Structure 1
Amino acid sequence: MSSETQKTIFETRESQVRSYCRSFDTVFTKASGSEMTDADGKTYIDFLAGCSSLNYGHNDPDMKQALIDHIMADGISHALDMYTDTKAKFLQTFEDVILKPRGMDHKVMMTGPTGTNAVEAAMKLARKVTGRRNIIAFTNGFHGMTMGALAATGNIGKRGGAGPVSLGDVTRMPFEGSLGDIDTLQVIEAMLDNPSGGIEAPAAFIVEPIQGEGGLNAASAAWMEGIAQIAKKHGALFIVDDIQAGCGRAGTFFSFENMNFEPDLIPLAKSFSGMGLPFAALLIKPELDIWKPAEHNGTFRGNTHAFVTARVAIEKFWSDNTFQQSLADKALILTAGLQAVADQVGGATIKGRGLMQGVDVGSGELAADICARCFEMGLIIETSGAHDEVVKVLAPLTTPTRTFQKGLEILLDATRDMTAQHKIAAE
């Protein structure tokens, strides 16, 4: 059955809220590594990777086999938060390979299955620990679509989906660089130090080290360390949302590694399962873990199948430095490729770091046209930013170098085509 035939049911029955399918208007049937194939047999290079949920690519053979073995052995598929052998193996691996080598002693809280669930838990716990309501979030930040996380999200379109309700108890502060040359740390500190500033004492600061949906704005180590110090000074917790930038996307497992602070709370999701299975968790400093049993829960807290694949992902990719070094090498290729793209567009700039980079082409219309042209040419890629002006690369971290370079060549060709068309239209 062709893509066009199958799409009839989506138009007839699926909600208007659907979004990605409008940009990538075909029916996908299979995927492997860094490529997806549709019902018509056309194969696309994937520079979206489930919005960074597939950092290790589609259907990694080792994760797939481990999950098949688990299912065929009648392994537990759902257990609420009961003890299981799969959970024990995952937690032990996470402790031995990820936490201990980084000197971290955080507890692991299994939340509902998506990133917004982990953010909700973090905000709720911060308020419970401090007895305060106010959360300080940042311009261009994105933290999820449920009501608490949405209150901390800046995008007006996303916020509008909540309808005419109050998204309160959040104070917005300027992210690094959002005010040009003005030092936003000084602004934030001055506003909080002023007893007549009108800002309630915060329960927490919540920040993305790299703003995925907000335009790939990457905070410096100095700025992140400054926010951590301000939070401590004012008795607030420091929540580092590593949902999109974590699991290797920024070049290290956590995007804040090599920075001189330790987050109190760390929401994780997206690629945490390794294979695109729903799995979110909140890392909590032990002294802050004051929950009473079932005080925060969810039917699908802790996806047992995801425990299987997450363990394999950690063992396979993070047991030594080989994979991390490959990320550094690919980041150089990405930066060089994006510089060639930027050179095609007057005034364009490269944003982000690691393998979470893109090009600000200065116009949401141009960026959308570039991505649409890429799709025609066999590349799946999306935009981000306040005006969707950033063409954003989120290729699987395991993408073979030749495939990676081919995708960047398609992006360059598409940019050349669309830039030329926009210049002609403007004349």
Structure 2
Amino acid sequence: MQQSYRSSHRASYRFATSTLAAAILVACYVPTTVAAEGISDNEIRIGYLADMSGVYRDPIGPLGEDAIHMAIEDMGGSVNGANIVVFSADDRNSPDVGSSVVREWIDERNVDMVTGLVASSVTLAAVSLLEEADKLGLINGAVSSSITNEHCSPNHIHWVYDTWAMSNGTAKAITDEGHKNWYLLSADYSFGHALEADVTRVVTENGGTIVGSARHPFPSSDFSSFMLQAQASGADVIALNNAGGDTINAVQTAGEFGITQAGQILAGMVLFSTDIRSIGLENAQGLQFTKAWYYDLNDETRAWAERFRERTGSMPTMVHAGLYSSTRHYLEAIEATGTDDTQTVRQQMADTPINDIFATGGYIREDGRMVHDMYLVEVKTPEESQDEDDLFHVIRTIPAEEAFRPLSESVCPLVNS
């Protein structure tokens, strides 16, 4: 049967269920009858691994797969005549579950590339398997800057953001405004630890002091004791080194205790538009944080975001945009080289600037970091907001060369090797 991707996307999905009880797998099959020279199995096989049901469901989750399919559609539904297959799985924020899924994809499904990769602990476990098998990982959800520093490899690329960039933008701006005493509340796993270290570095380098810190279990629903400790510290700023549902719960708890009303600043290090909607502008107004992308940046981003909303019923987050961008850049590299060989494709991706809805003049460094502009934003007041999607002011564009860790500070073995 021969048909276009758009038609098959509506009517011809092929579903597969994993033998892993903890993971839900779905495969989308895009049929063609044209042979693809140089592409293994005459198919490009993509795995989308993400938190589909936990604290990162809303900002990334199931809608991330829609962003991947949009990239496939915009490539015309196939590459050089090759079928495109997409598998998806819920990693449940468990490194064990994530590793089992990725191993099964490699051994049984011969995936070429795995993307999504949200929790840093899951990501680090997955990329180790990808390197062993010489497959490619395109990391969009995970934030730990160690992914392209001490844990870099020739088999993965970090696309959207990292803890170095998020902390550098927000913590530097707030410290420079004279708020020098910081209390750090961090998720107790690799992502939270990395963000805690990066915020500490930025604050101290800019003349500030860490007056106290605590780590909370991941995930957490009760932040009462943690926020009371932070409040009692007398710190000027309480940094939330967490994300997703944890950040939402922490901000809401701070509101209940009147922490910001009493004069302490709440600084979210990793926040999504979905978080701000959940918190509400009344509680989130004035909050400053760093973003990798925002749908109201320009006409092109607004047009793409509207397509995404028409498809999903929701405006995209920065990770959704990153999934689209990285998937399309990957497919364009296969189209240009005529092969899905991992190292050939990765080199082509690195040799080609990224100019799309996500980044202008973006590029992939030797450590696997995709470098691009970042944005310091401030949440609007309810009076300033024109509608439910009008959430932020862009205060400052952070140029790409300032946004990410300089290679001179890198310990990645791929740098200057």
TM-score w.r.t. the length of structure 2 is 0.32
With a CA cutoff of 8 Å and minimum separation of 6, indicate the structure with the bigger relative contact order: 1
TM-score w.r.t. the length of structure 1 is 0.31
